[in-house]
Chain A
């Protein structure tokens, strides 16, 4: 039986499923809806996003959501008939998740803007 690296991708995928399910809806409410109605004005949102704990929270949410999302997008594309190019799609999509995580880390640590 050929060795598979599938379990390696399932760990962040499952982590992302749990973290995005619990935390993404309230993050959307805070960033998109409280801001629109000015219940969180620009100075308050700025201060909130300067907090290291909030930055760490957002980094974890972003990184795991990217792995979860891109893993599922891979299977959506396979279901839509792209099974023949699964290898290329895996490289592109998992590569995007890794690249996005690195960018998110650099941005959260203020190394890159």
Chain B
């Protein structure tokens, strides 16, 4: 019996590791045989649904196996929505066995089912249509109990009831203090995650749709317990502040939170070996946690919100946009100063509201005071302004009233708080100090000239500019790139020509060798002319000159001193064939003969001598001797 089992869950797109690849190749033939068997037995495929247990508690998970017995070529069945459960696909598991030559194979698609409510449920039958065949599985009945841990939680169950639905055991809420807000009114928003006896990890910061609103940053979440309907919940509370940006009807939310629900892992009891038992034991489960993370995306309901425009009626002149419920206090210190000495006006606006829109109330001081820009300090519940004033006039008796107006967001009415006037006593300065005041006046005037400029984007361009082909850059232009080779080639050409001319100028031996064949060619042409004319004497003189000059240039010797003995000496050492030497000797002897017995040399002798010369030069040139 040969039995193979592959229970690994392979995600899609994962490549085979080399060992597995070798194994697959080794058994390729067997697979082919089995595949053909599957085709033959397509109609004998059995579709079966099994679960690892029929009774579980809420907060636990169970394993659903959809097995096709008789083929491994079945596709993943599309799981329908199962009432009372959330399903998650884990992967395939294949099994193959050959017993007494009879091959059988199966594929199992494994899912995790997470119950969402208490009760008795029937799952299945599942159905798959493939290749024109319809496969129907059996159905299974499962009972979901309210208790997660059965007996050990018995005592706690007696004191506190438990939620019967997963959606009641973990859920998210989005709460806003009120549904009608004024423009720019700051309202706290609370997102609460309720968890009842479930393990939750990796909780992300909540997100929510806030179109039309500006939001702040979420702070550290608060964690506490809360009993709702007799059920004790762990609550994780996130707080933030929002304010409306434009009037209208909006929806805040839904808020979403991503987290991992820790579900108790079920041991796989299918393994037959004791080795598997060891590693599937509760000991290891407990050691490694025994839980698996089940990603959840929790979603709250959304909230309709109306952003109201600020009322126009009864709007006080001193209103500068403050919204909320505020108190306003102001004081001046010190109350007695000399002209030119500073006094501080302190204004504190405290309460609840959008402090970003709270400004220092206007103070009409005219030109009697030099006023510096206020120092502003903002806390959670108060905003403090400290303004330095320098009296410039002895006759000043008081700082006039200050009025702070705000829209009371609780009543919807404008309110104005008035403080002052603040009595002050201004004394005459010393003479030296008077001078200082004048200097200070000049320098501070320059400061007040600072202009606050508005900021926005600069207007669009009137013309499109040069519309060029899209994404065509010179560095990708093949013609341009091709041109880059030209300077290099040009440089190489110039260098070679330059080097040659330099060598010709400086290396006499090289120059003579280079010019030797050219000069010999000219001489031979001259000799041919003389041959045609039948001028024997001059012909042989020319032939002798050509031979002397060529050999002199070729071997870098004095041309006038070239004799047959020197030629023999030079050429023999260079392994010249005897045939060429004979030709050269013959030319030399004929050239000598013409001086004493010119009449003995016929036209044929001259032609033969010319031919011998050409052949000898040709040989020496070709063989680079």
A and B physically associate: no
Q: Which A residues contact B (CB, under 8 angstroms)? A: none
Q: Which B residues contact A (CB, under 8 angstroms)? A: none
